[in-house]
């Protein structure tokens, strides 16, 4: 069975959004993956379908109710559903290409998009939600984070990228940033292409690319090099 994403959100109109165009869009049309949205408000409380309330202990903003989020989750993914249950959260484990690869190898994901100040802690514990962050900054909601995560996953699914090889050499896949790219014209605004790339010597090209990848990683992201901890 192919990858199935269920997204719990107050703004289902944000999906498929960017996942509806280009390679992802065509893959979605072909059914290489499926994307379903669940409107959390449908599980809201009372005549006004309330989904949030004031924070216990006081303070600004609103908190999404655990009973409402749990009802939406239990509808989207009953207990027998073994897909990972994810909460987009700035407090989560930072998303890595490794986790993206694991998710792409699985059956899908159920993703809760927070809004307001976040969600009641008890539903995170009670439904075993895996908190994932897309970086050290605050978004206004989890939707853009979910789109980032799914974009990264979907391009790894079988059949999605035309040229499967181009997935391998990319930044992070080998633990290094990717080497620079060039294409025609041979000269542009006085800048030329490194001669080794047009030499026809495949061994020399491979060595140059590896050396450049190492140089860039050392300069920009020494934390990625072996022996360096984050
Ligand atoms: N008060 C919270 C921020 C809430 S932002 C705090 O200070 O930690 C509202 C929602 O946006 C969050 O519940 C989460 O779902 C989403 N969000 C915000 N920043 C994010 C990030 N860096 N990664 C993933 N999701 C994020």
Q: Where are the beta strands (DSSP E) in the chain?
A: 3-9, 33-39, 52-53, 63-64, 85-94, 108-112, 130-133, 187-188, 191-192
pLDDT tens for each residue of 148-158: 999 999 999 99
Q: 134 CB under 6 A from ligand 1?
A: yes
Lowest mean pLDDT among 29-33, 133-137, 169-173: 169-173
pTM of the entire predicted model: 0.95
Q: Tell the residue nearest (CA) to atom 1 of ligand 1.
A: 117
Q: Taken in order 156, 157, 159, 160, is the CA torsion positive or negative?
A: negative
pLDDT tens for each residue of 75-115: 999 999 999 999 999 999 999 999 999 999 999 999 999 99
- Whether 179 has a pLDDT exceeding 90, the answer reads yes
Cα separation, 225 vs 46, whole angstroms = 54
Q: 118 CB under 6 A from ligand 1?
A: yes
| Average pLDDT value for the chain | 95
Q: How far is the CA of 118 from the centre of ligand 1 (A)?
A: 6
pLDDT tens for each residue of 31-68: 999 999 999 999 999 999 999 999 999 999 999 999 99
Contact call for residues 51 and 95 (beta carbons, < 8 A): no
Q: 141 CB under 6 A from ligand 1?
A: yes
- Whether 165 has a pLDDT exceeding 80, the answer reads no
Q: How far is the CA of 195 from the centre of ligand 1 (A)?
A: 47
**Pick from 35, 34, 24, 31: nearest CA to 160:** 24
Cα separation, 118 vs 115, whole angstroms = 6
Delineate the domains of the chain, giving CATH numbers in brackets: 3-154 (3.40.1280.10), 168-230 (1.10.1270.20)
Summarize the confidence of residues 173-186 as an average pLDDT.
Answer: 94
Contact call for residues 74 and 132 (beta carbons, < 8 A): no
């Amino acid at each position: 069975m192919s990858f199935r994403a269920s997204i719990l959100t107050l703004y289902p109109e944000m999906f498929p959004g960017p996942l509806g165009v280009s390679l992802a869009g065509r893959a979605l049309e072909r059914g290489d993956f499926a994307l379903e949205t669940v409107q959390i408000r449908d599980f809201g409380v009372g005549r006004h379908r309330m989904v949030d309330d004031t924070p216990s202990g006081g303070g600004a903003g609103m908190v999404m109710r655990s009973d409402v989020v749990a009802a939406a989750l239990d509808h989207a993914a009953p207990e027998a559903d073994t897909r990972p249950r994810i909460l987009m959260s700035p407090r989560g484990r930072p998303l890595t290409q490794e986790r993206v690869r694991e998710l792409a190898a699985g059956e899908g994901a159920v993703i809760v998009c927070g809004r307001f100040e976040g969600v009641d802690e008890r539903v995170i514990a009670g439904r075993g939600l895996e908190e994932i962050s897309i970086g050290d900054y605050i978004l206004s909601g989890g939707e853009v984070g979910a789109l980032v995560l799914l974009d990264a996953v979907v391009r790894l699914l079988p059949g999605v990228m035309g040229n499967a090889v181009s997935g391998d050499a990319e930044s992070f896949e080998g633990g290094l940033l990717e080497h620079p790219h060039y294409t025609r014209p041979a000269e542009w605004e006085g800048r030329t292409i490194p001669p080794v790339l047009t030499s026809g010597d495949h061994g020399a090209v491979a060595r140059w690319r590896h050396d450049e990848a190492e140089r860039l990683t050392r300069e920009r992201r020494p934390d990625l090099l072996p022996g360096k901890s984050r």
